[in-house]
Chains A and B, each alone.
Chain A
Amino acid sequence: MRILTLAGRRLAASIPTLFLILIGVFLLLQFAPGDTVDAMMAQMGGGDAATARELRKFYGLDLSIPMQLANYLWRLVRLDLGFSSIYGKPVATVIMERLPPTILLMTASLSFAFFFGLVFGVIAARAVNKWPDTLISTLGLIFYATPSFWFGLMAIVVFSIYLQWLPAGGLEDIGQVQTGVWRMIDIARHLILPTLTLGLIFLAIYLRIMRASMLEVLNLDYVRTARAKGLDETRVVTGHVLRNALLPMVTLIGLQAGTMLGGSVVVESVFSLPGLGRLAYESVIQRDLNTLLGIVFVSALLVITVNFVVDLLYARLDPRISAEG
């Protein structure tokens, strides 16, 4: 499998990149005025100089910046992500707690966007410039242009306040303790609105890409051949066009995996979900360097993994990629 060696080589090349990113983020955050103690003072609403001095010593901020960086990298080499100053827990634990809701939300909304983007993209491409195409493209544009916080809030107003069908926020109902299937159903109910809010924005992108790439492939010679040999339109689309038109979609998924771990600060805030997006935002505001670097590190790892999988998928969809290398 040549593709494996290739992907493996890319994997190895990404390790220096990872370190450069981490050092970059570390230095960038040094340029932001204020440190985690200032941020903490801001949050407490007051404090005196003695308290601040004590806290700086407590968080190890009395060391010089190169020393702090060296300490951090040395810990990282030993796979220790350090201690979070906001959470008072190891960073690895904090991230692990936030990972499941983030992955759940992101997989759900990306799958939603991918599936419906594909279906609507195909419909739009087959009826190009007729009313279904115009309708789908216009709706896609509207979803794309609508800010997600507005979308989310309107969804809450309609479905939670007026209709009272769905919960307005949170990950699960804390009023009663649920287990097994009931808990799963409860969490699923809580995730419907955020998934839709986030998914509709992604949907527009997938829809446009799918439509464009369908149109391109539909004009290729082999499609004419397929039609000429008497296949009906549905067989042409499913058997010949779709597979080739899917390549750009797969590329897009690979690219968006990066944003996936970053989560969505806006949707997580509106629906009060404990995701990684909010965690990252909070770590910047609170100048919690360890947590932020930890998130960057984990996100980078995930992007590398997903891209590896995407490479393999390419080979599956288009055998020429594997053959030519």
Chain B
Amino acid sequence: MDLTRLEINRRTALLTSAAIAANVINPMRAFAQETPRKGGVFNVHYGAEQRQLNPSIQASTGVYIISGKIQESLVDLDADGKPVGVLAESWESSPDGKTITFKLRKGLTWHDGKPFTSADVEFTAMNMWKKVLNYGSTLQLFLTAVDTPDPQTAVFRYERPMPLSLLLRALPDLGYISAKHIYENGDVRQNPANLAPVGTGPFKFVKYERGQYIIADRNPDYWRPNAPYLDRIVWKVITDRSAAAAQLEAGELQYCPFSSLTISDMARLSKDKRFIVTTKGNEGNARTNTIEFNFRRKELSDVRVRRAIAHAINVPFFIDNFLGDFAKLGTGPIPSTSTDFYPGAGTPQYPYDKAKAAALLDEAGYKAGPGGTRFSLRLLPAPWGEDISLWSTFIQQSLSDVGITVEIVRNDGGGFLKQVYDDHAFDLATGWHQYRNDPAVSTTVWYRSGQPKGAPWTNQWGWEDKQVDTTIDNALTELDPAKRKALYAEFVKEVNTELPVWMPIEQIFVTVITAKARNHSNTPRWGSSSWHDLWLSA
């Protein structure tokens, strides 16, 4: 049913943002007549400082936005979202999927002049990805060793089959390499290089003034010919969103990544010719808004109640009126931006239907009591993103229409994670599910049973489904890409039927960037990528 509505939404969104889209759909074509200009300083808004900057230790956009320019990964994604070699030149998997061999690029040096070799890959994989890196430790759980027969070859050995397509889609984020000679002594987490990263990338770290700025300058010895173009990148720490918008307008910033401004400022700036506001270049960082159900509440353990809640909320209305062009109707845990795994909208969906919601609740035995109230629930919204705050209020109002009273309990970040994923002190929770190019990276953990208590963004609902578990496990080790896609379609169908978590809105981060920037937003994870080809026109 929702297909038609979705299409219309998409089309209107495209039309209204046609002016923006014209500039970004194909940046190369639009500016083909210009010759790249060397030089210039690129000032980037940095909203939330991280504790450290090494992407081999911490997987988050707050790290990639900086160190993705300084350190490099084995592979990245190209304009079409396909894996393309960076530090690795080529790769192949053995037929049983237990051995994956990477051939590394020759003649590369670290910023301190030492050569880059397979020993660095071996050290990073075994000591950082496998032990410390968030999501890396799950991905590389069955990695037993990395052999280094010569300085240009790294052979990954797995205990169980590792689908090459999964590894290649995970590595752009989870495949950054650190230098062995810098990290080999002592605890990798306490190494001073974590705040002064050394890499092979197009920019060299210069200075980090905590709470103020980070500076990196162009690496004259970078391995790609003629790159990079920029002289310097400055990341400015600005915690106030409105202040960041003001600095952008005053010309003190050129780029506000990952929806770092308020929704109203982004909508306002999208009409300003000096800036480009687009979701392009962020497809690799898709996220969905959630409603997470706690099955420990008797009412919510009944699938009819969960479906009734979904039917009671008018999602298209919410998107049109609150999120605008920056969001669209979601169809499940795998977003439509995932060309390799999106199963389509043919899985069970829950369109807005108040009468049906009331009927389902009646059927489940929760008749409206005096004053029309059936029961009440506590909703915990995550504190990141104003969309979550708006969405939680919308849930509250929608559910009160069908006789469910909702109390909203707000927490800060640490408090939210503790209460939902460790103490299970919630009835409903809402936040973001981040999709990282392959469902096995950070999506299936939301549904697979047996997650340790306290692990954030995992199945802590008190819900277990043997069928879903089996589908997830089979897909994880399936080597045939077509069969994997089919298994994940099956998985989406199953979880949309049972609905332990509902993911009705898809969002892609919004980029706000100066109209003078060229070669920007040209890969699905551009904000995290190395910016070796980015330049500023005069």
Binding site for B on A (CB under 8 A): 32-36, 38-52, 54, 58, 85-88, 94, 97-98, 149, 152-153, 156-157, 160-161, 164, 167-171, 174-175, 269-272, 274, 278-279, 282, 284-287
Contact = CB atoms under 8 A, between A and B. Distances in A.
A286 B452 CA distance: 23
Given A98-B211, A169-B238, A272-B240, A47 B456 contact: yes
Contact of A45 (B60, B239, B411): B60
Interface in B102-135: 131-135
A33 B61 contact: no
Interface stretch (B48-56, B145-153, B345-353, B493-501): B48-56
Interface in B22-77: 41, 48-52, 58-62
B414 A42 contact: yes
Interface string B397-420: 000000000000001111111110
A167 B252 contact: yes
Contact of A46 (B135, B189, B413, B419): B135
B487 to A, nearest CB: 22
Contacts of B442: 46
A124 B246 CA distance: 37
A97 B457 CA distance: 36
Given A46-B457, A51-B134, A272-B239, A38 B252 contact: no
Interface string B409-446: 00111111111001100000000001000000010010
Nearest to B243: A270
B477 to A, nearest CB: 18
Contacts of B489: none
6 contacts: A35-B418, A48-B137, A48-B138, A169-B236, A270-B242, A272-B240
A88 B239 CA distance: 20
B298 interface: no
A170 B455 contact: no
Given A46-B134, A156-B243, A38 B249 contact: no
A189 to B, nearest CB: 13
Closest 4 A-B residue pairs measured CB to CB? A34-B414, A42-B413, A274-B211, A47-B134
Contacts of B413: 34, 38-39, 42-43, 285
A72 to B, nearest CB: 19
A42 B384 contact: yes
B454 A286 contact: no
A272 B243 contact: yes
Contacts of B423: 33
B137 A87 contact: no
Nearest to A171: B212
Given A169-B247, A272-B237, 12 more contacts: A33-B414, A42-B413, A45-B59, A49-B451, A58-B187, A88-B51, A153-B242, A170-B236, A174-B213, A271-B243, A272-B238, A282-B49
Interface in B171-230: 187, 189-190, 194-195, 209-213, 215
Contacts of B234: 174-175
A34 B455 contact: no
Contacts of A94: 210
B482 interface: no
Given A41-B456, A153-B243, A168-B243, A87 B210 contact: yes
Interface string B366-387: 0000000000000000001000
B493 to A, nearest CB: 25
Given A168-B247, A278-B211, A279-B211, A52 B415 contact: no
A47 B59 CA distance: 8
A94 B210 CA distance: 9
Contact of A97 (B52, B60, B134, B210): B210
Given A43-B48, A168-B252, A285-B413, A34 B190 contact: no
Interface of B: 41, 48-52, 58-62, 131-135, 137-138, 187, 189-190, 194-195, 209-213, 215, 234, 236-240, 242-243, 246-247, 249-250, 252, 384, 411-419, 422-423, 434, 442, 445, 451-452, 454-458
B51 A85 contact: yes
B132 to A, nearest CB: 7
B59 A161 contact: no
B245 to A, nearest CB: 9
B479 to A, nearest CB: 24
Contact of B246 (A35, A45, A50, A161): A161
A102 to B, nearest CB: 11
Contacts of A270: 240, 242-243
B384 to A, nearest CB: 7
Contacts of B190: 88
Given A97-B210, A174-B234, A269-B243, A49 B415 contact: no
Contact of A33 (B211, B247, B411): B411
A279 B41 CA distance: 28
Contact of B252 (A32, A39, A169, A282): A169
B129 to A, nearest CB: 11
A271 B252 CA distance: 12
Contacts of A52: 454-456
Contacts of B51: 40, 43, 85-88
A167 B138 CA distance: 46
Contacts of B384: 42
A168 B250 contact: yes
B213 A278 contact: no
A272 B248 CA distance: 13
A316 to B, nearest CB: 38
A174 B215 contact: yes
Contacts of B445: 48
B40 to A, nearest CB: 11
Contacts of A282: 49
A42 B252 contact: no
Contacts of A43: 48, 50-51, 60, 62, 413
A33 B250 contact: no
Nearest to A281: B239
A168 to B, nearest CB: 4
A34 B135 CA distance: 21
Given A46-B456, A54-B132, A168-B246, A269 B415 contact: no
A279 B134 CA distance: 26
B59 to A, nearest CB: 7
Contacts of B247: 156, 160, 168-169, 272
A278 B239 contact: yes
A49 B455 contact: yes
Contacts of B458: 48-49
Contacts of B131: 54
Contacts of A279: 211
Most B CB within 10 A of own CB, among A50, A85, A274: A50
Nearest to B453: A49
Contact of B60 (A36, A46, A88, A167): A46
